[in-house]
Structure 1
């Protein structure tokens, strides 16, 4: 005999609540760190945008180097050509971001706009799912998703003059709201014993 769907949902909800309760301190620590990093980015947005561009450039460059090394060592593996092309693409992207970080900042601002739109929609959907499964502070996640969509609108409306500061400022704001959402959910999970 199969258990009913409501019985499965109840067990899943209880398991999720227990997991949140068991790890609320980790969520709280992550939220605090995220909020503090976001505050730093808001205080100095041009620097935060440039640092983000350079950091991403190094990540791509290192990923491309290791991708090529591993591809060359596995020359007989299937898909080696595609793997090599992917590694070269990462090398080129990293090199371009490091060669001209200011131009990279422009490109990343466009990518950030797309990210905020996608992340906003997904966070809103996740908040609605949390509302059904975990009642504690799902509203904060919903607000975070709406803020992401608002930030995307701000970027789009301010081009091209806002490129110098928008990346650092908006990433900082997003990190602060994401941190606040994690803090609120962690504190609520702490109070609600399973």
Structure 2
């Protein structure tokens, strides 16, 4: 049983290490230059809105069930949103940062409520602490707009890439010692 490949981890160990190193390098770049990384995230989001909106319009126009004005309108709105994000990138960063602050606030309130409802159980305090941190982070972001908009998305991208890179390298090194 020991030294067997865990289910779900296929592929060669070197591939995991290579992906992890690339992710760590991308995360390091994002942390060292969060403004550029924030604009990069914005451009990806804008491109996805345009792509998905275009696909929705195309599928709606080709639907064998007839034209759905709602679906067509939603596709056009997605395209317009993507174009607007690209046309006014600073405004787009502020908008995405506001959405992120709202999500932090919502997550924090939910975690605090869940923690207080689970008070007799051991991890309840961690839920309340985590929720409080999320609420404080949302308040911090809101109090520091628009300056926070220029760097927050890039910093979050950097942290995410670094954490993914660490687990990918760790998984690859673990797989190196596993018999196939």
Give the 5 Å matches for 1:87-102.
87-102=75-90
Q: Tell me how large the CA RMSD over aligned residues is.
A: 3.6
How many equivalent residue pairs?
154
* Matched-pair contact (CA < 8 Å) for 2:60–2:67: no
**Is the aligned partner of 1:174 residue 2:160?**
yes
* Matched-pair contact (CA < 8 Å) for 2:13–2:172: yes
Work out which of the residue numbers 118, 140, 162 in structure 2 matches 1:157.
140
**Is the aligned partner of 1:62 residue 2:45?**
no
Give, in angstroms, the shift of residue 154 of structure 1: 4.3
Structure-2 change in CA distance of 1:15 and 1:189 (3 Å) = closer
Q: Flag structure 2 segments of 5+ consecutive residues without an equivalent.
A: 108-129
Q: Flag structure 1 segments of 5+ consecutive residues without an equivalent.
A: 1-9, 119-146
Give, in angstroms, the shift of residue 22 of structure 1: 4.3
Work out which of the residue numbers 74, 92, 113 in structure 2 matches 1:104.
92
* Matched-pair contact (CA < 8 Å) for 1:18–1:193: no
Separation in structure 2 between the aligned mates of residue 21 and residue 73 of structure 1, nearest angstrom: 39
* Matched-pair contact (CA < 8 Å) for 1:50–1:101: yes
Match of 2:61 in 1: 72
Give, in angstroms, the shift of residue 156 of structure 1: 4.3
Q: Residues 10-41 of structure 1, C-alpha deviation per residue, up to 9 Å, x if partnerless?
A: 9xxx9861552644333222222211111111
What TM-score do you get using the length of structure 2 for normalisation? Answer: 0.67
Q: Which deviates more from structure 2 when the two are superposed, residues 77-86 or residues 24-33? A: 77-86
Does the residue aligned with 1:162 lie in a helix, a strand or coil? Answer: helix
Separation in structure 2 between the aligned mates of residue 68 and residue 21 of structure 1, nearest angstrom: 37
Match of 1:35 in 2: 24
What TM-score do you get using the length of structure 1 for normalisation? Answer: 0.63
* Matched-pair contact (CA < 8 Å) for 1:155–1:162: no
